[in-house]
Copies of this chain bind each other. A is one copy, B any other.
Amino acid sequence: MIDKQLVAWGSSGNIIREIAEYGAEQAKKGETVYNFTIGSPSIDPPGIVRETMERYLNAVPAAKLFTYAPAAGYPAVREKIAGYLTKTHGVDYRAQDVLVTCGTSTCLAVLTRVLLSGGGRAMAFAPYFMDYKYYAEAVGSSLIECPTEAGTFRLDLAAAERALAPDVQMLVVNTPNNPSGVVFSRESLTGLAALLERKQREYAHPIYLVADGPYRELVYDGLESVFLPELYKNTIDCYSFSKGMSLPGERVGFMALRADMDGHDDLLAACMGVIRAFGYICVSSMWQQVAADCLGATSDVGVYRANRDLLYGALTEMGYACVHPDGAFYLFLKTPEPDAQAFCRRAMRENLLIVPGDAFGTPGYVRVAYCVDRGTIEGSLPTWEALAREYGLK
């Protein structure tokens, strides 16, 4: 009577959980564990977050501060977000174009349902955040995995053109990318936008670009992080305060639709319908107001850049192959044996915890989340070194 697919989705047995549980066990025993599995910021939110929170707590009676927010978010919060996007990215938004959500995961789950309920498939560039696939399958659809350039993980427009079947209704683009750390260039994204325009005409239906953009402030060395709605009007910008503002556990984000997008009003109404009928109701009243007042403030991103430099420098020196990560806080390492899961289990026995690329549609790689204390990176280097020697990397 209980759907086997739901049970399967929720059952343990996947390697990330196995690794996480092993790490927790070891840590309990007092062992030193080098945990690079979780994409949760290691540095505090900017100071203004706590100040703003205290300001609300002191100025607004608690019953009023903690009351139900409207399903779409507070009008003032939507207004602030729209104003910020307009000013920062030069694309016009109005309050009614913005829905406050519990982070980008909820955006993606809701949009997948809205865009695929009438049929059609989703597409994403591999490597990609694996839950995209679950969201598509959960609405009875599927996800087309489009390859990127081998080894560099840059957009491959020829591959994209081949993969863009007539029934693709949504394309998810995540830049800076989890797990590769690659930041897609303006040139390649402009090419992608032109391809989508052409395919829309050819297929005579809109193809929505879902911009999964929680890492957009996490870009190093002065590189540009392109705001996708600037290039393509049928873009839904999905954002979360989880990464740049270090608030992952408080679940605040938003989606923003360009005012001139095809089917704008129906799309918004359908999102509200899903939010209601599927019980995704409301984002923390307090946190949405605090986050909106802190728009533009970010944690000290220099910490991640220093982590990256240390870890990328050391690992490549040891002989590991890795694309240079220009953004987010991940290294995507080619494993010294073809089976990434086997390599992760080998590393796990040394208390070095990493995630196999299989989980991101890309076998043969591992994701190393370097949003950790510098001491964790420094402490792990001898283990990385020993593994490199064991696998004969140099």
Contacts and interface: CB of A to CB of B under 8 A. Distances in A.
Contacts of A390: none
A198 B278 CA distance: 32
A287 B115 CA distance: 32
Contacts of A50: 57, 62
A150 interface: no
Interface string A113-124: 111011010000
Contacts of A103: 281
B6 A250 contact: no
A59 interface: no
A272 B68 contact: no
Interface string A74-114: 00000000000000000000000000001101101110011
Contact of A10 (B66, B135, B274, B279): B274
A273 B10 contact: yes
A10 B246 contact: no
Nearest to A53: B57
Most B CB contacts (10 A, CB to CB) among A1, A109, A114 go to: A1
Nearest to A282: B251
A186 interface: no
A7 B249 contact: no
Interface string A264-285: 0011111111111111111111
Contact of A279 (B62, B69, B131, B270): B131
B246 A66 contact: yes
B38 A66 contact: no
Interface stretch (A39-47, A221-229, A332-340, A354-362): A39-47
Contacts of A278: 109, 135, 138, 278
B109 A6 contact: no
A120 B40 CA distance: 40
A95 to B, nearest CB: 14
A8 B276 CA distance: 11
Most B CB contacts (10 A, CB to CB) among A3, A40, A69, A113 go to: A3
A49 B62 CA distance: 10
A44 B63 CA distance: 5
A2 B110 CA distance: 12
Nearest to A134: B277
A104 to B, nearest CB: 9
A14 to B, nearest CB: 11
A270 to B, nearest CB: 4
A169 interface: yes
Nearest to A45: B62
B277 A280 contact: no
Given A6-B117, A7-B266, A106-B280, 6 more contacts: A1-B120, A6-B277, A11-B272, A44-B63, A68-B248, A249-B285
User: Which 8 interchain pairs have the tightest Cβ spacing?
Assistant: A109-B279, A249-B285, A10-B273, A10-B272, A9-B273, A6-B270, A3-B117, A6-B273
